Structure 1
Amino acid sequence: MKRTKAEQKQATMQKLLEVAREHFSEHGYAEAPMEDMVKTAGLTRGALYHHFGSKEGLFLAVLESVQQEIAERVEAEAASSGDPWEQLLLGCRAFMTAAVEPRNRRILLLDGPSVLGWDAWRRTDEQNAMRLLREQLELMRRQGCLKPVSVEALTHLLSGAMNEAVLWIAESPDRRQALEESVAAIALLCEGFKK
């Protein structure tokens, strides 16, 4: 059965995203030539420009897909419990675990802010992980689980703490231990807001 133009377009874009993610993860943005990516994908530079506008546009699309994938993992982990506090901590653990995985770490933590700039990186974070964190905290506020505190301020506080923690975890010689210490610290921090 022949694919429609829309299906062909989607398949081309998906192939470029998959190949680019591998190259950006392994080599970093600066050391991932467009020629290598389009050759590996079996496409042309024209296809990359047509669908993404530039190498930076392709990188932004890859970052957005990484952010979205991490958000889906956070949501799935948090949903495995019915307790709001446990949901919050499971979501925090899922975020930190996913952020430091080799296929995400360089794109999310290193190249994302430096290639796209802090504002663009924050927008993608706000649309995904931060959005979920805010929604969870808002739900907890409505359920009476939080002390009187600004949900917006708490969202930024916890998000900033976790973003800094994952940078530390990624550089730690013992990432597993650093992750466990970070999860314990986040849990202790959150205890102060528990009603």
Structure 2
Amino acid sequence: MRRSNSERTQAMRAALIEAARTHFVEKGYAETATPDIVTAAGVTRGALYHHFEDKKTLFASVIAEEAKAVRRDIENAAMTSPSAYDALLDGMRGYFDAMAKPGRTRLLLLDGPAILGPAEMRRMDEAQSEHSLHRGLKAYLTEKDASQTSLGIFTELLSAAFDRAALAIEAGRDRAAYEKAIATMIEGIALK
């Protein structure tokens, strides 16, 4: 069955993003050359530059796809939770599971901010995993009939705690200890 132009375009774009992800994880951004990416994707340099302005734009697309995948994993993990608190804990576990994918912590928490800048990474995070966290915290505070005055600040601080924990876990620290500490932080947010 023949694919439409749109399907071929999407397939080529996906192949470029996947090949780029592999190279960015294995070699890092600076050591990754676009000829290596196009060879791995099985396309021409012209195809690369048809879809992406430059290597940095391709890197931004890789990061965006990774951030979307993390959000999906968080939301899937929390989907059937019996309470808002349980949803936050299930989402936390979903986040740590998502960040355990090889290379993801490096891409999202180290190379992403270094290459794209903190402001761009903040924008992506606000639209993805932090958005899920904000909704979860809001539901939890509503469930506990607690003040939502500092909801935005709590979301930002807890998001940073999740990221620091992901880095520590990747470095070999005890995941269960970080999960327990974050659960305690979440409980503390609802105290009156």
The answer to whether the superposition gives a TM-score over 0.5 is yes
Once the two structures are TM-superposed, the CA of residue 38 in structure 1 deviates from its matched residue by 0.2
Q: Which amino acid aligns with 2:163?
A: N
After superposition, residues 82-97 of structure 1 pair within 5 angstroms as: 82-97=82-97
Question: Within the alignment, does 1:138 sit opposite 2:144 as a pair?
Answer: no
In structure 1, runs of 5+ residues without a counterpart are none
Q: Indicate the percent of aligned positions where both proteins have the same amino acid.
A: 38
Cα deviation digits, residues 146-185 of structure 1 (max 9, x gap):
45542111111111111122222222xx34x2x2111111
Partners of 1:118 and 1:11 lie apart in 2 by 30
- In the superposition, relative to structure 1, how do residues 148 and 57 fare at CA in structure 2: closer, same or farther (>3 Å)? closer
After superposition, residues 1-195 of structure 1 pair within 5 angstroms as: 1-147=1-147, 149-171=149-171, 174-175=172-173, 177=174, 179-194=175-190
User: Taking structure 2 as the reference length, what is the TM-score of the superposition?
Assistant: 0.92
Partners of 1:49 and 1:41 lie apart in 2 by 13
Q: Which amino acid aligns with 1:187?
A: A
In structure 2, runs of 5+ residues without a counterpart are none
User: Taking structure 1 as the reference length, what is the TM-score of the superposition?
Assistant: 0.91
Single out whichever of 146-155 and 45-54 deviates more from structure 2: 146-155
Preserved CA contact (<8 Å) 2:141 2:190: no
Partners of 2:109 and 2:97 lie apart in 1 by 13
Tell me which stretches of 4 or more aligned residues in structure 1 moved more than 6 Å. none
Partners of 2:144 and 2:110 lie apart in 1 by 38
Q: Which amino acid aligns with 1:186?
A: I
- In the superposition, relative to structure 1, how do residues 54 and 20 fare at CA in structure 2: closer, same or farther (>3 Å)? same
Cα RMSD for the two superposed structures: 1.6
Q: Which amino acid aligns with 2:70?
A: I
Single out whichever of 50-59 and 142-151 deviates more from structure 2: 142-151
